[in-house]
Structure 1
Amino acid sequence: MIPHKANKQAVVQISNGTLTATLGSIGASLIDLRLDGVDHPLVLGWKAPSEYLRNDPYLGCIVGRCANRISNGQYALNGKTYSVERNFLGKHCLHGGSKGAARQNWRRNNQTENAVSFELEIPEGDMGFGGALSVKAHYSITSPATLNLDIRAIATGDTICNFTPHWYFNLNGDGDIGDHLLRVRAQDYLPVDDELIPLGSVEPVRNTPYDFQTLRPVGDAPLDHNFCIARERIRLKHIAQLHGLRSGVALDLHSTEPGLQIYSGDFLDSADLPTVFGAPYSTRSGLALEPQGWPDAINNPSFPSVVFMDGQEYHHQSQYMFSRLSDRHS
């Protein structure tokens, strides 16, 4: 195992010659992603490794132990009420708290030319959550141009567990993501209140701004919603497509997760911070596609469960397959 330095980001690169990923140990982050023959990054990322410790919009991090929002910073499990950090609007918990997995320096391990693992121990009581978790995120690149993410966690004590890669895509390399074409294989979504907390109902996407059942432009409607892929965790399957028409790059997303949170980056603003794109990021510079359990599931018994009991294993798989639109149409 490579020695771990708590305050120093380890930056590594994996590649199969066609797809190259730059990864950082803080948040087990995807910092940069390049497709051979394309002269720009496909994801948003900070140029300076130290920026991954900031309270930023979670660029590239793996977030958890419980991704997304927990209403009122509270949940009940086994008859006990847990109060967790309210780091969203001072009222709700977001992404496991301000010092959740995204802000931790994961241990790098088992690196090869086209794969690497990151490991993290989350103790009992961290950010107010019950139970401990041993987490491993394994990245690999396979042919022709697929980035694979495999996240496993073992619970010690009963707990909640829901990790997601918080990666922002801009397949064109610059500009607003509104002109990207998006398809999501979901018939339903979760309506939310003004504080982005699910109302508890599951509604059809048809005749709403959230209907991406056929490939169409992302447009300018703000998105920060969960699309309901399934009512339980599933076998790996195709859940979404994203096309950058100006660059000719296409992304096909496969996952085991029952939900896909899509965020259109309406509050992105990196001011003068250096980025892998060069220019600072502004509103709607990237589109986050986050396979995960449904938000606030612990407080909504009808949602797919995010509870993992003592000794139970959590297993998340996601695949990001890149190609050229010209190849698809030839």
Structure 2
Amino acid sequence: MAQFRSKPFGVTQNGDKVDEYIISNPGGLEISVLNYGCVIKNLFVPTKTGMVDVVVGHDTLADYEADFNSSGSTCCGAFVGRYANRIENAEFSLSGKTYKLEANNGKNHLHGTFPRKIYDVKMFGDTLLMETESPAGEDGFPGNLKVSVRYILTPDNTLRMDYRVSTDEDTIINLTNHTYFNLDGGGNVLGQKLRIYASNYLEGNNETCPTGKILPVDGTPMDFRTGKPLGRDLDTGFYQTTMAGGGFDHCYVLDRPRGASQSLCAWASSDKTGISMKMYTTQPGIQLYTGNFLQNCPSPGKGGIPLEKYGGFALETQHFPCSPSHPEFPTTVLRAGKVFRANTTLRFFTGRQCGRL
């Protein structure tokens, strides 16, 4: 059975109290979560040489606020929405009406306000439940939303993230968790290995929005099907990685076995710590981001150390970016009275427990 404890983490600029909720399990895994943005602040994995914190973040609430309120927000560890990733030209049409959104990423809309919201918290069994509401018009979207996020920690060192959203009006929704992982516990991630179970990816334009082309990874630096170090193909001159800030910031189309609701989508490992992480999801895509602009974060990282380029990698399970502009993509429309559900599961291993990547 998981064990819970909590402690005050600070007060926001608006006067809201924020707490840190710490969950540990018999297997030694420990996670701390803030009710500000449902942020995963720490995730400690037990190894032979001690506990390793495998996520990138900040030490204080003031640092998270400065980060999340900046134009170059990293969204470190946060639950992201109403629409994770980009909406092209910060607008979309639904049922004959055009909705204008905040253009917070050049001329595009990116991620939204969920990382800056305060969530109500309940703890029971092995579950941390966080809930909030999003009123119609927030971020420019239609529909009053009821939102719940569950973090479930099980004895086999597995963290499950469940999302549930309902609406009273037709709207669009795309949700993800924006944790940056560093399985070394520090430094850059270029030597860490990653495998992505995807044969195709979405070609991006120079604003990292999909062009609509779904391209094969075969024979390109985009190919992670058999696993490789994250830094191996960054300097090939391939136009997709060059325009993305000298790294990866792309959505992969996951290979899902017929009839499977949840499937293995990624496997990452560190030779330095011996930590491996397997990721499973019900979502159709996964955005790989190699922290190409983390060095621009206005807030320091943990221990007061500035965040560095390639200091973490994000694996954002989600629907495809800019889906409203591409009706051929899986729909992100959520109809009135319906419920959106998705989950992503992380399972951690040490040593040779899960084989070699």
Same fold (TM over 0.5): yes
Looking at structure 2, the residues matched to 242 and 267 of structure 1 have their Cα atoms a distance apart, in angstroms, of 21
Contact 1:26 1:52 in 2 (8 A): no
Report the CA distance shift for 1:49/1:283 in structure 2 as closer, same or farther (over 3 A): same
2:117 aligned partner: 104
Contact 2:276 2:354 in 1 (8 A): no
Contact 1:190 1:200 in 2 (8 A): yes
Looking at structure 2, the residues matched to 234 and 328 of structure 1 have their Cα atoms a distance apart, in angstroms, of 22
Q: Deviations over 1:135-177 (max 9, x none)?
A: 0000010121111100100111000011100010000011211
Deviation at residue 22 of structure 1 after TM alignment: 0.3
Looking at structure 1, the residues matched to 36 and 307 of structure 2 have their Cα atoms a distance apart, in angstroms, of 20
Contact 1:248 1:325 in 2 (8 A): yes
Q: Deviations over 1:100-151 (max 9, x none)?
A: 1011111112x14642111110111111111121100000101211111001
2:244 aligned partner: none
Looking at structure 2, the residues matched to 135 and 9 of structure 1 have their Cα atoms a distance apart, in angstroms, of 18
Report the CA distance shift for 1:270/1:7 in structure 2 as closer, same or farther (over 3 A): farther
Contact 1:26 1:53 in 2 (8 A): no
2:159 aligned partner: 147
Looking at structure 1, the residues matched to 52 and 40 of structure 2 have their Cα atoms a distance apart, in angstroms, of 15
Report the CA distance shift for 1:233/1:23 in structure 2 as closer, same or farther (over 3 A): farther
Report the CA distance shift for 1:236/1:329 in structure 2 as closer, same or farther (over 3 A): closer
Do structure 1's residue 75 and structure 2's residue 130 form an aligned pair?
Answer: no
2:146 aligned partner: 134
Q: 5+ residue gaps in structure 1?
A: none
Report the CA distance shift for 1:199/1:150 in structure 2 as closer, same or farther (over 3 A): same
2:18 aligned partner: 9
2:108 aligned partner: 92
Contact 1:41 1:277 in 2 (8 A): no
Looking at structure 1, the residues matched to 201 and 301 of structure 2 have their Cα atoms a distance apart, in angstroms, of 33
Identity of aligned residues (%): 32
Deviation at residue 230 of structure 1 after TM alignment: 5.4
2:221 aligned partner: 209
Deviation at residue 276 of structure 1 after TM alignment: 3.3
Q: How many pairs does the alignment contain?
A: 323
Deviation at residue 274 of structure 1 after TM alignment: 4.5
Match for residue 279 of structure 2 among 227, 249, 253 = 253
Q: Deviations over 1:41-94 (max 9, x none)?
A: 1111111023222333100001001100000011000000011110001x0000
1:168 aligned partner: 180
The structure with the largest strand share of the pair is: 2
Q: Deviations over 1:276-315 (max 9, x none)?
A: 3653221000000100000001110000110000011111
* Two-structure CA RMSD over aligned residues (Å): 2.2
Report the CA distance shift for 1:248/1:154 in structure 2 as closer, same or farther (over 3 A): same
Contact 2:294 2:310 in 1 (8 A): yes
Contact 1:146 1:320 in 2 (8 A): yes
Match for residue 210 of structure 2 among 174, 198, 202 = 198
Looking at structure 2, the residues matched to 180 and 16 of structure 1 have their Cα atoms a distance apart, in angstroms, of 26
2:329 aligned partner: 303
